Amino acid sequence: MATVQTDQVTLTIDGQSVTVPKGTLILDAAKAINIDIPIFCSHPKMAPVAVCRMCLVEVEKMPKLQPACAVYVAEGMVVKTTTEQVAKYQKGVLEFLLINHPLDCPICDKGGECPLQDQTFQYGPGASRFEFQKAHFDKGVPLSDKIVLDRERCILCWRCTRFSEEISGERELALIQRGVHTIIGTFNDEPAQSNYQGNWTEICPVGALTSRQYRFVSRPWDLDRTASVCPGCSMGCNIQLDARSNKIGRFQSRENLAVDDGWLCDTGRYSFPNFQRLTQDRPQIRRDGRLERVTYDEVIAFTADALKASGQLAGWVSPAASNEELFLFQRLFREVLASPNLDHRSAVLEDAEPDDMTLPIADIEHCDQVVVLGGQDVIDAAPVLHLRLFKSQRKGVNVLKVGAADVKKALDAVPAEAQGVGILATEANKKAAVELQGKLQKKVKGSVRRLIVTTGPNGRGAKDLGILPHRGPGYVSLNGKSGKGRVEWPGAGVKALYVHESSPLHGFVPTDAESMWLSALPLVVFHRFKPSPLDEVAHVIIPGHAFTEKDGTVTSMEGRVQRIRKGIDAAWVREDWRVFQEIANHLGADWEYESVEAITGDLVRALPPYRAVNEGARVLWSESR
Amino acid sequence: MALAKPTVEEIKTRAARYPSRQSAIIPALWAVQHEQGYVTKESMGEIAQILGLPPSLIEATASFYSMFLARPEGRHDVVICVNAPCMLRGADEMAAYLGQQLGVRDGETTTDGAITWHSTIECLGACGGAPMMQVDHHFEENLTPERIDSIIERLRTEPAPHGPKPEKAAAVARPRAKRTQN
Amino acid sequence: MGLKPVLTKDFHTENLEQLSVYERTGGYAGFKKALEMQPDELVELVKKSGLRGRGGAGFPTGNKWSFLPKGVYPRYLVCNADESEPGCFKDRYLIEKSPHQVLEGILIASYAIGCNLAFIYIRGEYLPQHEALESAIEEARQAGYLGKNVLGKGYEIDVILHRGAGAYICGEETALLTSLEGYRGEPRLKPPFPAIKGLYGKPTVVNNVETVANLPHIVINGADWFGAMGTPTGKGTRVWCMSGHVNRPGNYELENGTPIRELIEEHGGGVWKNRKLKAFQPGGASMMVLLPEHLDVGLDFDAIQKAGSLAGAGAMVVMDETTCMVDAARRYVKFFHHESCGKCTPCREGTFWMSNLFDRFEAGEAKATDVDLLLDIGYSIDGRSFCPLGDASTWFPRSVIKFFRDEFLEHVSEKGCPFKKMAQEAVA
């Protein structure tokens, strides 16, 4: 936790001297010198409560043991964490916790990654001396359609209820009853509505709160864990993709303080079944009205020739494709097929520009005024933003949620003496956001920055890399060689369409008018991860990789370039980038990419601001312009 | 059952007096229990609405305090203390006698719906007059079997002290509760 | 030493709960005099008097007041009338007999600390006492003792009477504040102390009923008068709540330092039924048991602590030779188990476990090793709990094991309570 004081305090913990900033907890000071003090209730994102009493340590001159999670360091303090008294007491508190905790570890989803299990092993008593009936509570309570609650396993650490109060602010979970009868629950046992429930399962130090989707799926030691990025939206939350037997088991958070602050939303977390590969489909070509299975080589040759022969072409690539795919896709269209009709969007939206991301996510906390233009629409588009906004509010930031039409209201509400103003809006409301920004810049003393929530996990990348009819990579103008955007295609004499979508969450969903047009189109190439209704109108189907099955990079709404990694091996499916390269080469190009990394390297050469990829940092366009 | 208008008004009045409306939760629960005899989840939801607070907060608070009843009980509430200071002066015997005379077990309501009784380990603050019990929160001290008999007889016919009117229990004719000695 | 009615001086007066009667006995003269003084002078006066809090901890009241940070407003006074300690019934008595005396004390304390809104947190079970205070506040308001401009002196004060709803833990001052804010009555971390961050995050003083009831008398008679009563470190009087096996249980206001023997034998009329004294417990359910050898200890915070117990909230539970100490401890442990808020592990689980063990002794199913198991559990609760409730749940049972271990073992060897058996045999 950041502290404003620069004063340093020196203390001794288990004989080692350590110097930490004033305002540091004993627990954190110990951590700084690799002394591990066991905890259950303490959580770095939440105010200390000191309820579990697991972290009690000896502090010289204090008569009682002190909770390391709640006592701040002082100059000259002498702390002892491994004395006989402490050890005896740790055994005592674990024995207490186990009195009413069932011994069902073998069938508990938390088994193997359970702090209670681990600490019992390390610090606990060998056997329990408790010889009475345990207090019985409900097991398997459906807290919502996402979470199941086992009230017997709960050790009342208050983490989930504090999350509900301090992190999401929804105050949906509460402690009910008192004493040994205390339980956690929602009001009147109504299903929990929060979009952040999955986080409860991660902060729960026992198996009381577990995800229904992960019930009995795997043991942690059987999981293959891959660091990646959530495919849910453009927030760019970091995830751990946990797979078992080459099947996705779950998405877990992987803290990135600048982005997600350690949290995920349920929309993203529980989206993984969409990426589960159900069938082993093959490339297909429609002949005499029927789709026939062919080889990759056949489909590539056929597609290349058909595209070449089609005349007016259009290409749509989903905002969930990787930067490397996007880069090659636009090269294929612009350089090889000489078609300027490129798009990744669903509708015509305001022009995209680097100024759309001058406000980094983490800087929301450092604004004094934040206008959420469009209110809940913005949160729905990137749910984890709510947690950042709520955190900011608790720190004193004034967060104003207004309708997209309420520019005037927002303008009036922001005081002239504001030092730092942030504006958040979705792509659909960009125009209003720009208008508000302009007016506020005239009104207020401080800076006014905006952050436009892009659509799709790589909508920003698609814009940066010029998957637009009127902009090339790096937002360069096409000097009168602009093509047509998606909504114009049906009326522009387009004869062939190549749709590439790797995410069922951000697919090509045709409007009614488009459906009619598509069914009459001479050539529809559909390059996708799994069967979809669009297969019906496709002449060519090329199976591709899911978001979770490939390596590459994606760019979040704030311009942060982050790596996604292959968590599931679908080796029999040809990599999407390789398909693009082979189509290009079939048509006379001489691309020689051997790996994704090679494409990334080329991409950075073509677009120097993208060197940010090496640090997982934000692309800083202003420096290069 | 929606809350009666005077109850809603009382809750609002109380809320306005405190520096934070949240402080009105316990007074609001009292007002509801006064009107309805117990506090349903539905009423908690109503309190939440009136005070503009999340309903989970109302249930969290209501369930913490032992005096808020979750289900309807008899017209009269009889609680007999059996903690040590009362035990020393024969509270166990009085509790047994009370149960025997009422013909129902600890925590139950008499068949005529007149009395719900239970023993409590929670000291009620009349150790000097032990054995003691509270009848509708009024003190009855220095209990003897004869005194218990006469109290039961009175309660069998007396109306409930609470009701739709949020006025004080004193509105109901009742003998003045015995005060502590000294 | 001996009986010294100060707070209870006029309690024989009929209708003392009425304002006019209270005024006739000199009521509100203290508040009027206080209003002529500077608040700081009052704080100094109370400091000088040596008045210590009567709620249990015995912290000097004037010092508590002076901890409030300068210049931070609003600040609150909360009168703790959540008397729930088994064995205690003095606050109830003080309120019932003279609600205006309590209110006057609150007004003086409020004026002294610069508070314009005071609270009385009264336990839910004290309904008649709630009504008495409610009437008193109304009468005082009509008479101008409360309001925007008290007695034309430009001081503003209002008092909100807040009724609890059944939770012993709310007698702990931080839990009381949490409860007053509408939450579950769970204690809070200290620091910050209520004086710095109390009710609604503002500087707050919490004073017990008996503590504030002393204030009118100190203001009228002065610090020296008060200091002349009692012992050097325990000035003034205390109202002792005597219960259990004595001939005349009830409240007795005695000068601090009066020997326990005098309270029990003289005022209480001695142990009832001509039986012998076995043990007694000062302070209430929480406090350690003392033995006949301690009868000459003075009723005073420090003297009782030296003898191995604590004066707490001023209870005196007397137990004669027929008392089963195991059963007495069982009741208290069950009480703490019932009243544990559940916030911290040791208290929540430890009192549950101890309660089970005591039931096993009572049922005659305990093992001899259970005695040491109780001590072990006590080790893991006392000093480890979040608040004193957990700690205190172990004090009485552990002191009983210390002095009466044999009784536990008899429960084991005789497979049940030897005292119950004796009583049954006597009846047969």
Nearest to B20 among C11, C179, C200 (CB): C200
Summarize the confidence of residues A570-576 as an average pLDDT: 94
**Ordered DSSP codes for C1-68:** --B--STTTTTTSTTTTSHHHHHHTTTTHHHHHHHTS-HHHHHHHHHHHT-B-SSSS--BHHHHHHTS
Residue located via tokens 């955007």 = A485
Q: Is the pLDDT of residue B169 over 60?
A: no
Q: Is the pLDDT of residue C344 over 60?
A: yes
On chain A, the residues whose CB falls within 8 A of the CB of B58 are 187
**C-beta atoms of A187 and B64 within 8 A:** no
Summarize the confidence of residues C372-379 as an average pLDDT: 97
Is C365 touching A (CB cutoff 8 A)? no
Q: Are A375 and A426 in contact (CB under 8 A)?
A: no
On chain A, the residues whose CB falls within 8 A of the CB of C349 are 96-97, 99-100, 180
Amino acid at C228: A
Q: What is the pLDDT of residue A620?
A: 83
The whole-angstrom distance between residue C54's C-alpha and the CA centroid of its chain comes to 6
Residue A279: pLDDT band by 50, 70, 90 thresholds? confident
Q: What is the pLDDT of residue A281?
A: 85
Cis peptide before B175 (omega within 30 of 0): no
**C-beta atoms of C182 and B23 within 8 A:** yes
Q: Could you give all domains of chain A from N- to C-terminal order, each with its CATH number?
A: 8-82 (3.10.20.740), 131-275 (3.30.70.20), 284-346+458-624 (3.40.50.740), 354-453 (3.40.50)
Instruction: Give the Å distances, CA to CA, from C8 to B2, C99, C132.
Output: 47, 12, 17
Give me the phi and psi of A12, to 5 degrees please. Answer: -120, 130
Chains near C with 3+ CB pairs less than 8 A apart are A, B
Q: Is the pLDDT of residue A156 over 50?
A: yes
On chain B, the residues whose CB falls within 8 A of the CB of A188 are 41, 44-45, 55, 59
| Spatial distance between the Cα atoms of B144 and B124, rounded to a whole number of angstroms | 18
Residues 6+ apart with CB under 8 A from B58: A187, B25, B28, B29, B44, B45, B47, B48, B51
- Closest-CA residue of chain A to C167: A178
Class of residue A227 by CB neighbours under 10 A (exposed 0-12, middle 13-18, buried 19+): middle
Is A170 touching B (CB cutoff 8 A)? yes
Tens digit of each residue's pLDDT (9 = 90 or more) over C254-289: 999 999 999 999 999 999 999 999 999 998 899 999
Helices assigned H by DSSP within A257-403: 266-269, 296-309, 323-331, 376-381, 384-394
Proportion of chain A above pLDDT 70, given as a percent: 98
Tens digit of each residue's pLDDT (9 = 90 or more) over C99-113: 999 999 999 999 999
Is A173 touching B (CB cutoff 8 A)? yes
CA nearest neighbour of B96 among B115, B75, B82, B116: B82
**C-beta atoms of B59 and A188 within 8 A:** yes
Q: Which two structure tokens, joined as six digits, stand for A589?
A: 């190009």
Q: Are C346 and A99 in contact (CB under 8 A)?
A: no
Summarize the confidence of residues C310-331 as an average pLDDT: 96
- Tell me which H or E stretch contains A254: none
How many H-runs (helices) and E-runs (strands) does chain A carry?
Answer: 17, 28
- CATH classification for the domain delimited by C19-228, as one of 3.40.50.9100, 2.60.120.10, 3.40.50.11540, 3.40.50.10320: 3.40.50.11540
On chain B, the residues whose CB falls within 8 A of the CB of A172 are 54, 56
- Tell me which H or E stretch contains C240: strand C237-244
Q: What is the pLDDT of residue B176?
A: 38
Q: What is the pLDDT of residue A379?
A: 97
Nearest to C241 among B64, B127, B168 (CB): B127
Most confident range, picked from A270-284, A329-343, A472-486: A329-343
Nearest to B66 among C128, C167, C200 (CB): C167
Helices assigned H by DSSP within A264-312: 266-269, 296-309
**C-beta atoms of B180 and C162 within 8 A:** no
**C-beta atoms of B57 and A175 within 8 A:** no
Taking any CB pair shorter than 8 Å as contact, residues of chain A touching chain C are 48-54, 56, 63-65, 70, 88-89, 92-93, 95-97, 99-100, 129-130, 132, 135, 155-156, 175, 177-182
Instruction: Give the Å distances, CA to CA, from B89 to A281, B99, C265, C343.
Output: 84, 18, 18, 34
Instruction: Give the Å distances, CA to CA, from B79 to B145, B152, C227.
Output: 15, 13, 42
User: How many contacts (CB atoms, under 8 Å) link A and C?
Assistant: 91
Nearest to C243 among B23, B26, B130 (CB): B130
How far apart are the CA of B130 and the nearest CA of chain C, in angstroms? 8
Q: What is the pLDDT of residue A464?
A: 96
Tens digit of each residue's pLDDT (9 = 90 or more) over B18-34: 999 999 999 999 999 99
Q: Is the pLDDT of residue A623 over 70?
A: no
How far apart are the CA of A74 and the nearest CA of chain C, in angstroms? 14
On chain C, the residues whose CB falls within 8 A of the CB of B177 are 128
Q: What is the pLDDT of residue C102?
A: 98
Q: Which of A25, A26, A52, A53 to mutate to test the interface with C (most CBs of C within 10 A)?
A: A53
| Cβ count near A267 (within 10 Å) | 18
| Spatial distance between the Cα atoms of C314 and C380, rounded to a whole number of angstroms | 27
Rounded to 10 degrees, the C-alpha dihedral B180/B181/C1/C5 comes to 80
**C-beta atoms of C317 and B170 within 8 A:** no
- CATH classification for the domain delimited by C325-427, as one of 1.50.10.10, 3.40.50.300, 3.30.360.10, 1.20.1440.230: 1.20.1440.230
- Residues β-bridged to residue B76: B115
Tens digit of each residue's pLDDT (9 = 90 or more) over A181-195: 999 999 999 999 999
Decide which of A621 and A277 is more confident.
Answer: A277
Q: What is the pLDDT of residue C241?
A: 97
Proportion of chain C above pLDDT 90, given as a percent: 97
Residue B163: pLDDT band by 50, 70, 90 thresholds? low
The mean predicted confidence, pLDDT, of chain A is 94
Is B12 touching C (CB cutoff 8 A)? no
Q: Could you give all domains of chain B from N- to C-terminal order, each with its CATH number?
A: 5-64 (1.10.10), 76-171 (3.40.30.10)
Nearest to B137 among C127, C179, C249 (CB): C127
**C-beta atoms of A53 and C345 within 8 A:** yes
On chain C, the residues whose CB falls within 8 A of the CB of B180 are 89, 92-93, 96, 250-251
The whole-angstrom distance between residue C274's C-alpha and the CA centroid of its chain comes to 30
Residue B167: pLDDT band by 50, 70, 90 thresholds? very low
Residue A622: pLDDT band by 50, 70, 90 thresholds? low
Chains near B with 3+ CB pairs less than 8 A apart are A, C
CATH architecture, range C234-320: Roll (3.10)
| Spatial distance between the Cα atoms of C235 and B86, rounded to a whole number of angstroms | 31
Summarize the confidence of residues A306-323 as an average pLDDT: 95
How far apart are the CA of C131 and the nearest CA of chain A, in angstroms? 28
Cis peptide before C192 (omega within 30 of 0): yes
Residue A616: pLDDT band by 50, 70, 90 thresholds? confident
What does the buried/exposed string (b/e) look like for C38-54 if buried means 16 or more CB atoms within 10 Å of the residue's CB?
A: ebeebbbbbbebbbbbb
- Closest-CA residue of chain B to C170: B65
Decide which of A583 and A214 is more confident.
Answer: A583
Instruction: Give the Å distances, CA to CA, from A275 to A214, A222, A462, C46.
Output: 15, 20, 21, 73
**C-beta atoms of B85 and C87 within 8 A:** yes
End-to-end CA distance of chain B: 45
Q: Are C89 and C241 in contact (CB under 8 A)?
A: yes
- Residues β-bridged to residue A253: A239
Instruction: Give the Å distances, CA to CA, from A329 to A44, A297, A305, A318, A566.
Output: 43, 18, 16, 11, 20
- Closest-CA residue of chain A to B68: A177
Residue located via tokens 């503590």 = C211
Nearest to A171 among B41, B54, B63 (CB): B54
Class of residue A147 by CB neighbours under 10 A (exposed 0-12, middle 13-18, buried 19+): buried
SS (H, E, C) A469-492: CCEEHHHEECCCCCCCCHHHHHHC
Q: What is the pLDDT of residue B165?
A: 37
Where exactly are the structural domains of chain C? 19-228, 234-320, 325-427
Tens digit of each residue's pLDDT (9 = 90 or more) over C43-90: 999 999 999 999 988 999 999 999 999 999 999 999 999 999 999 999
End-to-end CA distance of chain C: 46
Q: Are A191 and A185 in contact (CB under 8 A)?
A: no
Residue located via tokens 């040809």 = A574
Helices assigned H by DSSP within C50-169: 61-66, 90-97, 99-113, 127-142
On chain A, the residues whose CB falls within 8 A of the CB of B56 are 171-174, 186-187
* Helix/strand/coil percent split, chain C, to 5: 50, 15, 35
* Helix/strand/coil percent split, chain B, to 5: 45, 10, 45
Lowest mean pLDDT among A537-541, B1-5, B119-123, C49-53: B1-5
Could you say which DSSP state residue A465 is in?
A: T
Class of residue C36 by CB neighbours under 10 A (exposed 0-12, middle 13-18, buried 19+): exposed
Asked if the interface predicted TM-score (ipTM) of this complex is over 0.85, the answer is: yes
| Spatial distance between the Cα atoms of A168 and A261, rounded to a whole number of angstroms | 12
